[in-house]
Amino acid sequence: MIWERLIDLDRTITLGLNSLHSPAMDQFWMALSDKAIWFPAYLIVAVYIFRQLGRERGLIVVTSVILTVVFCDQVSNLVKLYAERLRPCYDGVMLQNGLHYPEIRKGFFGFFSGHASNAFGFITCTLLGLRNNRTQRYMGFAIGGYFWATLVAFSRVMMGKHFFGDILVGTAFGILAGFLFSWSASWIIRKYYSTEAE
């Protein structure tokens, strides 16, 4: 009973958010959802990490960020296969209630959101990794990064690809994975590079 109520609530929230679409904003959300366009930004962040931390520490942190994203992506794909929760764009109830999905439908299952977990894992691991340089606070980077990750996650609801609950779980998983891999990177840095980055 409680589970069914949660499912109904998730559908209601998703439909409410998805109804805020417009032709102009559809293009914006589709661009945010396109992973390929973010590769140059990832490269810029990697260069920034090296500049802030130096070669050795930078390599450790960049590696931890890559591992975070790969881990989030693969676990998300695995959970989708076992959870078998249909994406909103394949859910009959959602379609009957006017779900908007401007993109071609791909992949039947959507729990949990790989986009959300990847984005939040990326920014969490990157931010915590940068803090191996104690001379900077990176507040602007944190605010901008988490704002970007939130928009990426939200775009999946606007595209009709994920329920709101899918992106919530994806967000939580990504943050947890980011903490895990960044902690591992920091442990290696403390163990082998005890002098803090200047």
CB-CB neighbours of 80 under 10 Å = 20
Q: Which of 87, 115, 133, 108 lies closest to 174, judged by CA?
A: 115
Domain boundaries, the chain: 2-192
**Residue 137: C-alpha distances to residues 30, 52, 145, 193 (Å):** 32, 12, 14, 20
For residues 152 and 34, the answer to whether their CB atoms sit within 8 Å is no
Query: What is this structure's pTM?
Result: 0.93
> Does residue 196 carry a pLDDT above 80?
no
pLDDT (tens digit, 9 = 90+) per residue, 116-167? 999 999 999 999 999 988 888 899 999 999 999 999 999 999 999 999 999 9
C-beta pairs of 34-42 under 8 Å, 24+ apart in sequence: 35/115, 35/118, 42/122
* Per-residue model confidence (pLDDT) at position 194: 65
CA atoms within 13 A on the CB side of 30: 13
Q: What is the mean pLDDT of residues 20-38?
A: 90
